[in-house]
Structure 1
Amino acid sequence: MIVEFSIEYKTYFGQKIYIEINKELLPMKCSEEVLWTASLDLKANSDYVLSYNYIVKGNEGATIKEAGNSRVIKISHLSKRIILQDQWQGNSNSAPFLRRPFSSIIYNKSKQKGLSTHAFLKEIIFRATAPAMEDSQSLYICGNVPALGAWDESKAVKMNIVDEYRWAVSLFSSKLKGNIEYKFIKKNKDGDIEWERGDNHVVSIPKLEISESYVIEHSELDFILRKDRFVGTAVPVFSLRSKNSCGIGDFGDLKLLIDWAATTGQHFIQLLPVNDCIASKTWIDSYPYKCISVMALNPLYLNLKAAGVIKDKVFENNYMRKFAEIDVLPQIDFEKVLRYKFAYTRKLFSESGHSLLGTNYYKLFAKENADWLPAYAAFCCLRDRYLTADFTQWDEYSTYKPSLVNELLHDKDERYNMDFYCYLQYLLHEQLSAAHAYANSKAVALKGDIPIGISQCSVEAWTSPQYFNMDSQAGAPPDYFSSKGQNWGFPTYNWGSMAKDGYAWWKRRLSKMAEYFDAYRIDHVLGFFRIWEIPSDELYGTMGHFSPALAYSADDLRSAGFNFQYERDACPFIRYYQIKELFGNQCEFVQKHFLDSNQVDVFTLKEHYGSQKAIAAWFDVKGKKHSEIKEQMLSLVSELLFVTDPRKEGYYHPCINAQSKYSYQALSQDQKQAFDNIYNDYFFHRNEVFWEKLSYQKLPEIIDATNMLACAEDLGMVPQCVGRVLSQLKILTLELQRMPKTPGWMWGDPQQYPYFSVCSPSSHDVSTIRGWWEENRSFSEQYYHDFLGFKGEVPTSCEPWLAERIIRANLSSKSILTIIPIQDWFATAVTTRREGPADQERINDPANHHHYWRYRMHLSLEDLLEKRYFNLHISQMIAGTR
């Protein structure tokens, strides 16, 4: 039995095409410049199921995959020869509809998997990709021969759905001879017909022998692109409240949230990261983007009632009283939740845990997660033993080695603890998997969130340090969120090391995420182009630079007309008039304690105060009575025009917001102009092509690791190349009205958003609609009159009717997906609106590096489901704007 593959694809030097068949690669040969062929010899008289797709590999290991799922062909044992004339399934305009939320959940038309051969002794099979078809629609083929209806649409041949979006029909080859022309048409049950646009398809039918099949594939049909739009709700798991939760939202609460979403006509639920973040066992661990494992789930999200039954009823009743006390609090008491939940789950494990570990279900879970689970359990045990997640303080365990896990397993107590953490992960996996399956059964997709970074005290940093720059911190330059920029404290990625194994770490991470989610938000997608990198001994984002980036040598700067002097321009610029202005009557104290001077009125920082962290440490321990000058002292460190590149000696990056520095103000006018030219070149021009090239090396491989829908968070200082790359790769952008992407605009216009985007009125990183309205009175007045079109006096607070008007504007956007934070839904009705200040509903304040993430819904999900008028109103709002 022979299977012959062929596909047309224009490659570039060094690229080769392979067929990935049942997860094995078969190389193809090129002929006629664009035609690639290969054959597979199978044992005769046997049935086969082949799952295959095409991939392109380049010299440097970069891989390009087709969009969507693999093709599946079921070959009959009666077949002797299968000829496959395939087409590349590329990133066309319909490509997002091949992704899981649409193909498997919203538009899923078939559970059948695969095209079958040998319907006729000699057969021609037409196979076509047609995603996003309505339930009432079917695909037909109509052509210039009687077997295809002779261009009579009433006689067109109906095709069969063979997987989520592929259609096929088998015809006896004797009825199709020579050159034939045809098109595809859509018909619905009401008789409405839509013909393909463009030229006719033309194919020359070969002569076939008995038991031969000729498959003609069309990967993209020329129909008008459907522009259906969908709605979802954003809410963190920890914010959920139900009558069964214990002081914090959990995976068990998701079922009620899914019911509410389905009731109101929504198709998406967007969550914040759900990975384990427990490092210090204090409220600081409430930060969901600083995970200690990118694979493990957060133990605090375990639903205790579904986890098992405590036999010790005195213990159970005692803790249920404790949980009841913290569950009624308006906000999360993170430390009590953590303490109580771990006490409860340890008791549960002691009573019944080991019997569960002996089940085949657990053994299968452990086997499938063996690449990360043992190391994670060991990390948790050592964190508990040393009372810190900082593995550099773990004595002989500070450097990870695979044998370490076995060493711990030989210790009875450590073995018990490791089993406990594995047990928790199994329960969490079961609960989130159940919630995911339930959501899909209700035509609701779960959208997760993948943080751009990892904690410097994490399993991954411990076990795979080669992938990270541990001497650097990721963050963001000053922007809408924070005037000092942001320092997230994550080590930056060593992309060169990651590229060596084809970004295997990222692929494993996303594959794990795909077990629970259908779509995901790429936190800070700009990090795949370049990251804002801050030295590990600095605090503020103002000390950062882009990495990677094309830095300047001293000669480059001088050639550009700037008289670069290292001591003046790349070291803190400190002059007497400056410290007099900054510190007033404490000027003498600052000079004596922090500064050295080798010239009159010219100062340098003492060596042991040469970084922001060193200065902050002095104020925190010894200098509390001088705390009023702490910020001014920290600002002295950033009095730079250029930041030194940490990996390329003698190269420099212009300092962000340098024009506000004393050093800049002291320049002559011509030197200011020369510096401005360099500054604008660096931030807006020099790196564009460089970053675009780097993104194409990473993003396609990483995005195609799963069939989840990728949605970018692309806010902030965005290079022009980002939009082009996201559009090419069909990654949805984020549109936040208060952060317009058009220069000079005060707010975005939802009617001008691109179709492949996610529209939202607010997010976890900004204030709610209510808070936004009250932040800036003059802005609210202009928005009220010019955007909303109202006249007269502007309300001082965002009343329910006003919140609804803003949400309606977002629901009416051109975006394929509108995500409304649950607090903003609540703001639209008196019956659901939270009493009190609006800022109590804010989830995060990026300007506060020590923010406590503790927002919790004031309504229970059960009560929300009972608010029938409110829910009907939401469903009507959604239906009226679709």
Structure 2
Amino acid sequence: MKFPRASGILLHITSLPSPFGIGDFGPEAFKFVDFLVRAKQAYWQILPLGQTGYGNSPYGCYSAFAGNIYLISPEKFGFLPEPPALAGDLTWSLEKPDSMYADLQPPANAGGSDKYVTDTVDYGRAIDLKLRILKKAFEAFRNTNDETLIRKFHEFCDANAFWLEDYSLFQAIRLQNNYAAWTDWEKGLKFRDPQALENARKELDDEVFAQKFYQFVFLKQWYELKDYANANGVKMVGDIPIYLTTDSCDVWCNQDQFKLNADGRPTVVAGVPPDAFSSTGQLWGSPIYDWDKMRNSGFKWWIERVRFNLQMFDIARIDHFIGFAKAWEVPGGDATAENGQWISVPGHDLFSTLRYALGDLPLIAEDLGSVTSEVESLRDSFEIPGMRVLQFAFGGDTRNLHMPHNYIQNSVVYTGTHDSDTVVGWYKLRTKKRKDQSGEADFCRRYFQTSGKEIHWAFIRAALASVSDIAIIPMQDLLGMDNSARMNLPASMGENWIWRAAEGDFSDEIVDRLSRMCGMFGRSF
């Protein structure tokens, strides 16, 4: 699908400022839209919005449909007797100790401090606080007499029953079982015996109700933000991970659509083979789709998934697009990805079915990695723009597809991604002794005709000046931040997904410089 020439910024919701320890759909999200408008940006790209679990990765969610309830803004509930009145200095104390929120004291791990750390996401504390506020909101909702609100809730449940009924029960059973994976549940629930499910639904009726309410609020707030962005000329770019975690509602509900053994565990898992960056490859551990069965079902699950995402977003980035042409299949239980094998995937059949069912597909293909002729054929047959990443350009080969002079219009250029260094971090690593073995930093300076000062603006200028229809700049690169602001280091655990912008980061200086540059290169909207 052809997109108009424009540009945008990559900033995940969790990275927004907020008084609750994690960015959310609150006032700062709307202020960021205003910032985008002033900076002449047409796109706001985010990471997946699914409900995260262990590791907090937005690419490892409990559902392909349900939203991350930690992104709900307590400041925008609207129907609570009073909002949580956090003090202006972001302390834990509440202004009205006799209110319905009086028991929301600092969590046990607050370490005696009344200050909330705001420069990064402290998931433990933020989730603890958000969950307790959400429970208070649910108590208020179940006692409300607001007939309009009740009607809207039931309309939401009816419209989303195809995923909401199973997901709300899934989460209720997880809570009852102390967050145990569904593969460890008792047999009746594990293999979805109808009577066992009915008994659980009756027993856990209150928690099922709560889970539905949380999703109702999530989507209500999301669409309020999206509508505001769209009304101001900004389109929302979402992200669809190709794979799911084994411990997800979708795998539990569609066990016949995945390659699982008799115990419900993956016989093979996804990954990528060994390459120059890793002698053992990457082992992702996600179950592999049984593509033959999915094709026989008419790709019903995929149609529902993509339809749902294209309702939520104006454009959706498809993660690991290569996996729709071929998949690296590793035996379940292997410690590395070395013993895998390539299998073919019916990508042409899938996307033909999607286009027939849904019409035009406003997608972006994350086609980074081993791009073969099969991948190119699949991408180009459906006119899906691929990605170019400037950080990948300077290995010495002037035919490199990531060098700006090799770009095509139907592409999306990034200075970097959530999985890469920041531009400044990339440059610093390559200007240290023994780090610049390939001469990347020198090649980069000569190509951009720069001394290296403000290298991030040299990258930004090159992206905006390129022929690519869309240019996306991570917020960290606009700020000129080093790798302390990196969002994720693949195949690692630890301080990933925690970076947050400060309130003063969305400055007039950036607005002026970026908007003038966009005007110069024909990207103003």
* Fold-level similarity (TM above 0.5): yes
Corresponding residue of 1:508: 304
> Secondary structure, in 3 states, of the residue corresponding to 1:316?
coil
CA contact (8 A) 1:353 1:420 kept: no
CA contact (8 A) 2:16 2:501 kept: no
For residues 89-100 of structure 1, the aligned pairs below 5 Å read 95-96=1-2
- Quick one: distance in 1 between partners of 2:195 and 2:318? 34
Corresponding residue of 1:408: 200
Go from structure 1 to structure 2 and tell me whether the alpha carbon gap of 1:786 and 1:290 turns closer, same or farther (over 3 Å shift): same
CA deviation after TM superposition for structure 1 residue 432, in Å = 0.5
For residues 824-835 of structure 1, the aligned pairs below 5 Å read 824-827=477-480, 834=481
> Secondary structure, in 3 states, of the residue corresponding to 2:120?
coil
Per residue, is there more strand in 1 or in 2? 1
> Secondary structure, in 3 states, of the residue corresponding to 2:20?
coil
TM-score, normalization: structure 2?
0.86
Give CA-to-partner distance per residue, 1:528-568, whole Å, 9 cap, x none: 111111111012222322123xxxxxxxxxxxxxxxxxxxx
CA deviation after TM superposition for structure 1 residue 265, in Å = 0.4
Note if 1:878 corresponds to 2:518.
yes
Corresponding residue of 1:696: 348
Q: 1:379 aligns with which of 170, 192, 200?
A: 170
Q: 2:14 aligns with which of 214, 234, 238?
A: 238
CA deviation after TM superposition for structure 1 residue 321, in Å = 6.6
Q: 2:34 aligns with which of 259, 267, 288?
A: 259
> Secondary structure, in 3 states, of the residue corresponding to 1:772?
helix
CA contact (8 A) 1:234 1:271 kept: yes
CA deviation after TM superposition for structure 1 residue 371, in Å = 1.2
- Quick one: distance in 2 between partners of 1:419 and 1:329? 32
CA deviation after TM superposition for structure 1 residue 403, in Å = 4.7
Go from structure 1 to structure 2 and tell me whether the alpha carbon gap of 1:325 and 1:726 turns closer, same or farther (over 3 Å shift): farther
Go from structure 1 to structure 2 and tell me whether the alpha carbon gap of 1:880 and 1:291 turns closer, same or farther (over 3 Å shift): same
CA contact (8 A) 2:80 2:140 kept: no
Go from structure 1 to structure 2 and tell me whether the alpha carbon gap of 1:745 and 1:359 turns closer, same or farther (over 3 Å shift): same
CA deviation after TM superposition for structure 1 residue 437, in Å = 0.9
- Quick one: distance in 2 between partners of 1:859 and 1:480? 37
CA contact (8 A) 1:275 1:298 kept: yes
Q: If you compute each CA radius of gyration, which structure gives the higher value, 1 or 2?
A: 1
- Quick one: distance in 1 between partners of 2:342 and 2:396? 22
Residue identity in the other structure for 2:127: L
- Quick one: distance in 2 between partners of 1:877 and 1:327? 37
Q: 2:403 aligns with which of 743, 746, 749?
A: 749
Note if 1:463 corresponds to 2:253.
yes
Go from structure 1 to structure 2 and tell me whether the alpha carbon gap of 1:782 and 1:743 turns closer, same or farther (over 3 Å shift): closer
Corresponding residue of 1:842: 486
Go from structure 1 to structure 2 and tell me whether the alpha carbon gap of 1:741 and 1:825 turns closer, same or farther (over 3 Å shift): closer
Note if 1:725 corresponds to 2:378.
yes
Residue identity in the other structure for 1:712: A
CA contact (8 A) 2:283 2:336 kept: yes
> Secondary structure, in 3 states, of the residue corresponding to 1:352?
helix
Corresponding residue of 1:436: 226
> Secondary structure, in 3 states, of the residue corresponding to 1:776?
helix
Note if 1:365 corresponds to 2:125.
no
Go from structure 1 to structure 2 and tell me whether the alpha carbon gap of 1:273 and 1:296 turns closer, same or farther (over 3 Å shift): same
- Quick one: distance in 1 between partners of 2:313 and 2:446? 40
Corresponding residue of 2:134: 345
Residue identity in the other structure for 1:257: F
Residue identity in the other structure for 2:80: V
For residues 133-532 of structure 1, the aligned pairs below 5 Å read 228-242=4-18, 245-252=19-26, 253-278=28-53, 284-307=54-77, 308-309=79-80, 313-314=98-99, 316=101, 319=104, 327-355=116-144, 359-395=150-186, 396-411=188-203, 414-469=204-259, 470-479=266-275, 482-532=278-328
- Quick one: distance in 1 between partners of 2:373 and 2:98? 62
> Secondary structure, in 3 states, of the residue corresponding to 2:212?
helix
CA deviation after TM superposition for structure 1 residue 315, in Å = 5.3
Corresponding residue of 2:500: 857
Figure out how many residues of one structure are paired with residues of the other and give that number. Answer: 485
Residue identity in the other structure for 1:774: K
Gaps of 5+ in 2: 83-96, 260-265
Corresponding residue of 1:196: none
> Secondary structure, in 3 states, of the residue corresponding to 1:493?
coil
> Secondary structure, in 3 states, of the residue corresponding to 2:267?
strand
Report the identity percentage: 25
> Secondary structure, in 3 states, of the residue corresponding to 1:539?
coil
CA contact (8 A) 2:395 2:440 kept: no
Q: 1:802 aligns with which of 446, 450, 455?
A: 455
Go from structure 1 to structure 2 and tell me whether the alpha carbon gap of 1:852 and 1:438 turns closer, same or farther (over 3 Å shift): same
Say what the alpha-carbon RMSD is for the aligned residues: 2.5
> Secondary structure, in 3 states, of the residue corresponding to 2:471?
strand
- Quick one: distance in 2 between partners of 1:266 and 1:813? 16
- Quick one: distance in 2 between partners of 1:479 and 1:443? 42
Go from structure 1 to structure 2 and tell me whether the alpha carbon gap of 1:372 and 1:481 turns closer, same or farther (over 3 Å shift): farther
Go from structure 1 to structure 2 and tell me whether the alpha carbon gap of 1:716 and 1:316 turns closer, same or farther (over 3 Å shift): same
> Secondary structure, in 3 states, of the residue corresponding to 1:241?
coil
- Quick one: distance in 2 between partners of 1:705 and 1:285? 35
CA deviation after TM superposition for structure 1 residue 743, in Å = 9.5
- Quick one: distance in 2 between partners of 1:809 and 1:480? 27
Go from structure 1 to structure 2 and tell me whether the alpha carbon gap of 1:743 and 1:869 turns closer, same or farther (over 3 Å shift): closer
- Quick one: distance in 2 between partners of 1:335 and 1:301? 14
CA contact (8 A) 1:522 1:712 kept: yes
